[in-house]
């Protein structure tokens, strides 16, 4: 069996022609298309990487801004809380001051009203008490109320201790004057009788140097002052004691109310 070299070489030529045609018209376009597609994919991948990096940077920046915002918000919130607390404390202080001032004003008004009431009661009681005393002493003893007061004053001088009498005598020797104050003006006879009584009581020689004054505040009484020493009898002490008791009772009543 022989080899047909013409056919053999023709097939070889056909093979090379086929390869050349495939390479030129099929393989190269496919390769170009693949390379183009691969380049497009790489561009998209690179663009995605760039966008991811940009997004990551923006995320970090937003996280930083968020932290700064939270810190600023907390700082402002704390400052606002401090300002609110300070304002509340200031307002409470003002309210307490106003309440204290109002309480003081109310207390002062109440004290003035109570004092005015005490004064009115004292004046009313003093007037009625003096009138009643004058009437009772006049009916019981036939003498005026002031005469009775003068008698009680002399009785009180007689009851002085020896040491008190000595002090008054010594003071008179230094001052050489006796001051007599009375709720009513003493008549000439009353003055003379009182001088005689004092002379006997304190062993003083007549005439005595005496100064007589009228003091309505004594209330049916008489007072003797010799230097720094004094002796007295009047209804004022009884009225003061009564007023103190009345003040205490009124104060208790006001506190209860």
Closest CA to 31 of 43, 19, 23, 40: 23
CA-angle at 49, arms to 44 and 51, nearest 5°: 90
Confidence of residue 136 (pLDDT cuts 50, 70, 90): very low
Lowest pLDDT segment from 82-96, 98-112, 135-149, 226-240: 135-149
**Preceding omega of 207 cis (within 30 degrees of 0):** yes
* Cα distance between residue 69 and residue 76, in whole Å: 10
**pLDDT tens digit string along 25-50?**
766 777 777 778 888 888 888 888 88
pTM above 0.75, yes or no: no
The CA-based angle 179-185-189, given to 5 degrees, is: 85
Q: For residue 209, how many other CB atoms are within 10 A of its CB?
A: 11
Structure tokens at 28: 């190269």
**pLDDT tens profile 188-200:** 998 898 899 998 8
């Amino acid at each position: 069996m022989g080899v047909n070299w013409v056919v053999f070489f023709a097939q070889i030529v056909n093979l090379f022609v086929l390869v050349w045609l495939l390479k030129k018209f099929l393989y190269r376009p496919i390769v170009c298309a693949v390379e183009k597609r691969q380049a497009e994919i790489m561009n998209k991948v690179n663009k995605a990487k760039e966008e991811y990096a940009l997004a990551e940077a923006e995320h970090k920046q937003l996280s930083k801004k968020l932290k700064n915002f939270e810190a600023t918000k907390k700082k402002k919130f704390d400052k606002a809380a401090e300002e609110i607390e300070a304002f509340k404390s200031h307002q409470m202080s003002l309210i307490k001051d106003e309440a204290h001032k109002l309480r003081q004003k109310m207390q002062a008004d109440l004290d003035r009203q109570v004092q005015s009431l005490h004064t009115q009661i004292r004046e009313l009681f003093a007037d009625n008490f003096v009138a009643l005393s004058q009437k009772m002493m006049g009916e019981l003893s036939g003498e005026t109320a002031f005469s009775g007061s003068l008698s009680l004053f002399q009785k009180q001088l007689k009851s002085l201790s020896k040491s008190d009498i000595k002090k008054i005598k010594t003071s008179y020797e230094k001052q050489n004057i006796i001051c007599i104050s009375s709720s009513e003006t003493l008549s000439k006879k009353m003055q003379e009788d009182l001088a005689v009584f004092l002379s006997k009581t304190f062993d003083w020689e007549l005439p005595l140097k005496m100064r007589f004054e009228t003091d309505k505040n004594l209330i049916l009484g008489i007072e003797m002052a010799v230097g720094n020493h004094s002796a007295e009898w009047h209804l004022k002490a009884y009225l003061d004691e009564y007023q103190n008791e009345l003040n205490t009772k009124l104060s208790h009543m006001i506190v209860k109310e």
